[in-house]
Amino acid sequence: MGRYIDANCKLCRRERQKLFLKGTKCYTEKCPIEKRAYPPGQHGQSRRQRISEYGVQLREKQKIRRMYGLMETQFRNYFQRASQQSGRTGDALVKMLERRLDNVVYRLGFAPSRKSARQMVSHRHFTVNNQIVDIPSFVIKPNDVIQVREKSRKLGLIHDSMKRIKDNMLSPWLALDKGTLTGTFLNIPERADIPLNANEQLIVELYSK
């Protein structure tokens, strides 16, 4: 399966906003987009092109896809499943992405980034309802309990990541017990509650052509 192996910070610069792909680095002055807030490449600074309607829609799709760390085929499959649900397709798409196990692990603060969360899930550091799950795309359901495995509770990466999560920063659809490193997915969030700076309706328009 294909995967992106170039610098993650180039993706943020290409989209001209932070996608929070590098964990704690994204919150410091070392973040490249703070110093070079223009697209990467030889002509990144000088190029001033007018973006077409299609280009705007494409950039929005690429932004969300990269934020959640998905390849094109995976993302299109999510869109097709979202389009079969009732209600707004864009809202359904974002809700489905938020229910991925790697994303929930990141939201709970067990990992500094979604990429790191995906790797940690694959390395079998978490259980869901007391069952080991090593599939990052595993769909979390309401009242599911996500917990760090006993043998993984001393990992420095987890404890360093937990420091960025304050009680008032936790997403309202999640509950966290820092003492036992346990999180609960309370309910499927509404789109208005999801902190995602994107216009998913543009993706619907792009794929509807």
Q: In 3-state terms, what secondary structure has residue 71?
A: coil
Give me the pLDDT at residue 66, please. 86
- Cα gap 203→102, rounded to integer Å: 22
Query: Can you tell me the mean pLDDT for 92-110?
Result: 95
Element (H, E) at 131: strand 131-132
Domain boundaries, the chain: 8-97+196-207, 100-187
pLDDT of amino acid 132: 97
DSSP codes joined into one string, 28-39: STT-HHHH--S-
CA 167 to chain centre: 20
At the top level of CATH, the class of 8-97+196-207 is mainly alpha
**How far apart, in Å, are the Cα atoms of 196 and each of 4, 71, 133, 143?**
22, 19, 26, 23
Architecture of domain 100-187: Roll (3.10)
pLDDT digit string (tens) for 1-16?
455 555 655 565 555 5
pLDDT tens digits, residue range 153-206?
Answer: 999 999 988 887 776 678 999 999 999 999 999 999 999 999 888 899 999 999
Q: Name the CA radius of gyration of the chain, rounded.
A: 18
